[in-house]
């Protein structure tokens, strides 16, 4: 259980808040690259950590992320003209480049000199793996991008879609560190039940009566990237199943392995304190096969259908996620069809959109989630006291991924940790750490 004060610290990410400042030390996905698909395309509105911004792509194809409002008299730059390497406010014609410089101030005789004194707030950006990453923090020049394996992969090995969630980022993320929920929320009577995740990906979800999580134990290791977590489950042949499920600052999870050679990462990025985007990301060291495309990308189970023109799932809070009570009586625990929508239905309303964790009653199987909270609060407090997190300037620390393997059951925790660390480093692609 957290105190009210700790809960506020964990869930508030506006500018100047302790967690908001921690978030601003890291590169974050601000939008999908395809939202600004080409040079000089229309600008789009972006709300990120409570800040109202405009994203555009200049004539060179460089992404830009600037204040939503013009510094002259506060007109919305959303209506701006994106032309000749800059966004031009249509109220009086002031123009800004992706770095925030005023490059034209045409409505006044002193414009030629005064423009050098005017700037619009602008955040550095780059494209990687289908996303535009932005840095909202104080370091100038910004820190190098995190060295995730997937940052440099070719397009045929990554896939991402984003979803609009109507809840605080933290309750959306905590589900990835909640080992017992899968054996309830995601449970069906029959793996072959049509229209369920078990039907599409038998390795996922659980059957009624599956109690593996009760025998699970954990090893935790605090790192510069966040926290390495290894879950250990005894297996019937005298071995132990070990699974690495990392937490990466500030809010990236390595959500296990979706299938042979396909890794998952979920990123919950605050829009404000009561809503977030979830970037649902899959990657592989090999090009995706047609089979993987069908199951993991377009099957509707891991990527639920969205309302056209929005990032909102078709099955959402407004229609009670299309819960089917007959299905619930006879086949599935929830009566909600797809895996992510099952999660969505529960996390969007935990005492409301921003849960008050001082009201919780936690148990032993909540340990993994508790550790993540503690890691985040510790880093936020350290930053408040002037100690910068080490991760942003140690990008190589992020070059590690999920692993699942069987190990002899007589290994010590230190030996398990060493073995899993070695297995968590994969082949690298491209120039190494992505260059801005």
Please report, as ranges, the residues that interact with Fe ion according to CB under 5 A: 175, 343
Cβ closest to Fe ion, residue 124 vs residue 175? 175
Grouping H, G, I as helix, E, B as strand and the rest as coil, residue 107 is: coil
Q: Is the dihedral of CA 110, 54, 247, 284 positive or negative?
A: negative
Nearer to ligand FES, 81 or 381 (CB): 81
305: which residues sit within 8 A by CB, 6+ positions away? 313, 314, 315
**CB of residue 310 to Fe ion, shortest distance in Å:** 23
Of these, 39, 44, 75, 423, which contacts ligand FES (CB under 6 A)? 75
* Minimal distance, residue 79 CB to ligand FES, in Å: 10
- Sole binder of ligand FES in the list 42, 50, 72, 419 (CB under 6 A): 72
Whichever of 111 and 259 has its CB closer to ligand FES, that residue is 111
Q: Which of 249, 277, 278, 252 lies closest to 265 in space, CA to CA?
A: 252
Q: Please identify, using beta-carbon distances, which residue of 81 and 419 lies nearer to ligand FES.
A: 81
Ramachandran angles phi, psi of 56, nearest 5°: -150, 170
Give the number of residues in contact with ligand FES, rule: CB under 6 A.
9
Which residue is at the shortest CB distance from Fe ion?
A: 343
Whether the Cβ atoms of residue 276 and residue 12 lie closer than 8 Å to each other:
no
Give the relative orientation of helices 367-384 and 4-11 as an angle to the nearest 10 degrees.
80
CB 104, min distance to ligand FES, A: 10
Q: Smallest distance, Å, CB 263 to Fe ion?
A: 17
Q: Are strands 226-234 and 247-248 parallel, antiparallel or unpaired?
A: antiparallel
As given in the structure block, the two tokens for residue 255 are 């959500």
Tell me which of ligand FES, Fe ion, none is bound by residue 73, counting a contact when its beta carbon lies within the kind-specific cut-off of 5 to 8 angstroms: ligand FES
Interacting positions 84-143 with ligand FES (CB under 6 A)? 89, 91-94
Contacts of 112-116 spanning 24+ positions with Cβ under 8 A: none
Strands (E), 77-202: 81-82, 87-88, 95-96, 102-104, 122-123, 125-128, 131-135, 158-165, 187-188
Cα–Cα distance measured from residue 232 to residue 254, given in angstroms and rounded to the nearest whole number = 16
> CA 205: distance to chain centroid?
21
Closest distance to ligand FES from the beta carbon of 329 (Å): 59
Identify which of residues 175 and 395 has a Cβ nearer to Fe ion in the complex. Answer: 175
CB of 41 to ligand FES, least distance (A): 20
**Of residues 4, 15, 45, 73, which one binds ligand FES by CB under 6 A?**
73
Out of 9, 66, 68, 70, which residue is the one contacting ligand FES (CB under 6 A)? Answer: 70
Closest CB to Fe ion among residues 95, 166: 166
Question: Shortest CA distance to 379 belongs to which of 223, 147, 175, 172?
Answer: 223
**Minimum distance, C-beta of residue 181 to Fe ion, in the bound complex (Å):** 6
Chain-centroid distance, C-alpha 167? 14
Out of Fe ion, ligand FES, none, which partner does residue 91 contact, by CB within 5 to 8 A per kind? ligand FES
The entry of Fe ion, ligand FES, none near residue 28 (CB within 5 to 8 angstroms by kind) is none
343: partner contacted, choices Fe ion, ligand FES, none (Cβ within 5-8 A by kind): Fe ion
Q: What sections of 134-284 are H helices per DSSP?
A: 169-174, 197-200
Per-position x/- string for 27-66, each x denoting binding to ligand FES as judged by CB under 6 A, each - no binding = ----------------------------------------
Out of Fe ion, ligand FES, none, which partner does residue 70 contact, by CB within 5 to 8 A per kind?
ligand FES
Angstrom distance (rounded) from CA 388 to CA 244: 26
Burial of 25 (0-12, 13-18, 19+ CB in 10 A): buried
H helix count then E strand count, the chain:
10, 22
Q: Closest approach of Cβ 124 to ligand FES, in Å?
A: 23
Q: Which does 45 bind (CB under 5 to 8 A by kind): Fe ion, ligand FES, none?
A: none
Residues in contact with ligand FES by the rule CB under 6 A: 70, 72-73, 75, 89, 91-94
């Amino acid at each position: 259980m957290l105190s009210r004060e700790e809960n506020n610290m964990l869930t508030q990410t506006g500018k100047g808040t302790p967690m908001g400042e921690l978030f601003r030390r890291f590169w974050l996905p601000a939008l999908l690259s395809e939202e600004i698909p080409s040079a000089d395309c229309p600008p789009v509105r972006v709300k990120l950590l409570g800040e109202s911004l405009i994203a555009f792509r200049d004539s060179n194809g460089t992404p830009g992320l600037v204040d939503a409002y013009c510094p002259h008299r506060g007109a919305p730059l959303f209506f701006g003209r994106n032309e000749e390497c800059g966004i031009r406010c249509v109220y009086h014609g002031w123009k800004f480049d992706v770095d925030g410089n005023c490059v034209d101030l045409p409505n006044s005789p002193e414009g030629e000199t005064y423009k050098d004194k005017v700037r619009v707030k602008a955040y550095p950006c780059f494209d990687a793996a289908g996303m535009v990453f932005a840095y909202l923090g104080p370091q100038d020049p910004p820190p190098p991008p995190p060295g995730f394996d997937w940052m440099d992969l070719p397009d045929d090995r990554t896939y991402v879609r984003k979803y609009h969630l109507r809840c605080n980022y933290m309750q959306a993320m905590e589900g990835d560190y909640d080992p017992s929920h899968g054996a309830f929320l995601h449970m069906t009577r029959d793996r072959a039940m049509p229209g369920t995740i078990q039907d599409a990906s038998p390795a996922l979800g659980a059957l009624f009566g599956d109690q593996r999580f009760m025998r699970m134990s954990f090893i935790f290791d605090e790192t510069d990237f966040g926290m390495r977590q290894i879950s250990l489950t005894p297996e019937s042949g005298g071995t132990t199943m070990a699974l690495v499920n990392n937490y990466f600052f500030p809010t990236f999870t390595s959500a296990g392995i979706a299938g042979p050679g396909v890794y998952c990462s979920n990123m919950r990025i605050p829009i404000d304190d009561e809503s977030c985007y979830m970037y649902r990301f899959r990657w592989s060291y090999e090009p995706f096969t047609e089979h993987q495309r069908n199951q993991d990308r377009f099957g509707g189970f891991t990527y639920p259908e969205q309302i056209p023109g929005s990032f909102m799932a078709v099955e959402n809070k407004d229609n009670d996620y299309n819960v089917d009570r007959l299905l619930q009586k006879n086949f599935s625990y929830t009566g909600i069809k797809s895996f992510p929508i099952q999660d969505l239905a529960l996390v969007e309303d935990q005492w409301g959109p921003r849960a008050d964790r001082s009201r919780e009653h936690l148990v032993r199987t909540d340990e993994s989630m508790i550790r993540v909270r503690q890691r985040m609060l510790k880093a936020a407090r350290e930053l408040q006291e002037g100690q910068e997190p080490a991760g942003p300037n140690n990008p190589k620390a992020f070059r590690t991924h999920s692993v699942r393997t069987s190990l002899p059951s007589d290994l010590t925790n230190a030996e398990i940790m060493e073995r899993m660390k070695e297995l968590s480093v994969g082949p690298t692609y491209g120039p190494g750490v992505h260059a801005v």
